[in-house]
Amino acid sequence: MDTRPLEAGSVLYEKSQNFTHAIFPHTGIISLMAEMSDGRSVEKASIGNEGFLGFTYLMGGTDSISRTIVQVPGIASWLTMSDLDEAMQRFVCVREVMLRYSKALIIQLMESVACNTLHTAEQRVSRWLLHADDRLGGADFQLTQKAMSEVLGVRRATISQVCSDLLEFEAIIYSRGIISILNRDILRNHACSCYDRVTEASISTD
């Protein structure tokens, strides 16, 4: 296993690309993206230090189910699939933990279908920022409005307005692509209920 930087905007796997490594973020956030033929995109799920990239491998899949992009930079450990196989065969607890996380990620994937369809941009931005804050331990993080618009599948102007509103509510500070969370309670008041359901599923893997 080796540790490598996760650079914002870098593509870790293209859709249908063969897995060579499982990737375990220590910091940073990875997005599994759905991309449309007209060039639009939206995040299906995100992965931080609670999980790993490559969960479909545990279910017999050898290829990535989506394009995976680093949204928030950080560092991650990379483990070859052969070493992952060996670890799961030698240690039952490793396989059990990874399967529990895979279940949580599937719940997140299912939740995103409803969230992207039914909830407002403000609710979804607030939810995403809360998850980011959870994963990054309250640290400031880098995320451009362009990246956020691609993650949520909404216009950049909409993201700009939502961030302006959250700034006015004193929930966040957003300057030059750096986000600071000031008040989680305010963010939770503006987030959709998907935040609680996805968080509960993630906690159950601990």
Task: Encode pLDDT of 182-203 as tens digits.
Answer: 999 999 999 999 999 999 888 7
120-195 — its CATH code? 1.10.10.10
> What values do phi and psi take at 156, rounded to 5?
-60, -35
CATH topology of domain 2-116: Jelly Rolls (2.60.120)
Q: Give pLDDT, residue 204.
A: 62
62, pLDDT greater than 80: yes
Q: Give pLDDT, residue 1.
A: 84
Pairing relationship of beta strands 29-35 and 41-47 according to DSSP bridges: antiparallel
Confidence label for 205 from pLDDT (cuts 50, 70 and 90): low
10, pLDDT greater than 80: yes
Considering only CA atoms, which of 35, 39, 100, 95 is closest in space to residue 64?
A: 35
Considering only CA atoms, which of 151, 17, 14, 1 is closest in space to residue 72?
A: 151
Q: Do domains 2-116 and 120-195 have the same CATH topology?
A: no
Q: What is the pLDDT of residues 81-125, one digit of tens each?
A: 999 999 999 999 998 999 999 999 999 999 998 898 899 999 999
Q: Give pLDDT, residue 202.
A: 81
Domain edges within the chain: 2-116, 120-195
